[in-house]
Amino acid sequence: MWWVKLFPTVASLPEYIFFDNNCRMLRHLEASPSPETDHLTRKALVVDVFHHKNKHKQNDEHCAVKCNPALFPDLRDGEGWRFNSSACEQQNKWIVKFAGILHEMREERYDFLLDEVMDIRNEKRRAELFEKGKCPYNLSSM
């Protein structure tokens, strides 16, 4: 129901929705269709690349046919991926550590704290990557 609130219409949906449990989500949506959730199955419900390669059984045909990111050419950029779903997965896992604090906050404080904490973490991570000879960049600075 959270997705229904976030994406109430087909027009509000992004083209692709990444979620590491999309295989189960899609199975659930298909098994119990309803007017409130019908539009969610009209877009690509994709799993993280790492998740698909390492967390799925080889015989999970449903996921392989419907949620495999490799099935969607728009997600590819030559030999690589346009979207780093694994980085997002790592960021989400890190954010969960703040769930107890964030849960009790009003929306504006929640947004502010999360924005500031993520900026600090990203800056620290960029510095670590530069030290390792990597070249991370910030899209807002391009």
Other CB atoms within a 10 A radius of the CB of residue 23 amount to: 23
Q: Is the pTM of this model over 0.85?
A: no
80-81 and 44-46 strand pairing:
unpaired
Mean pLDDT of the chain: 84
Of 38-52, 63-77, 102-116, the poorest mean pLDDT is in: 38-52
Distances in whole angstroms, Cα of residue 69 to Cα of each of 45, 66, 81, 101: 9, 9, 9, 34
pLDDT of residue 138: 57
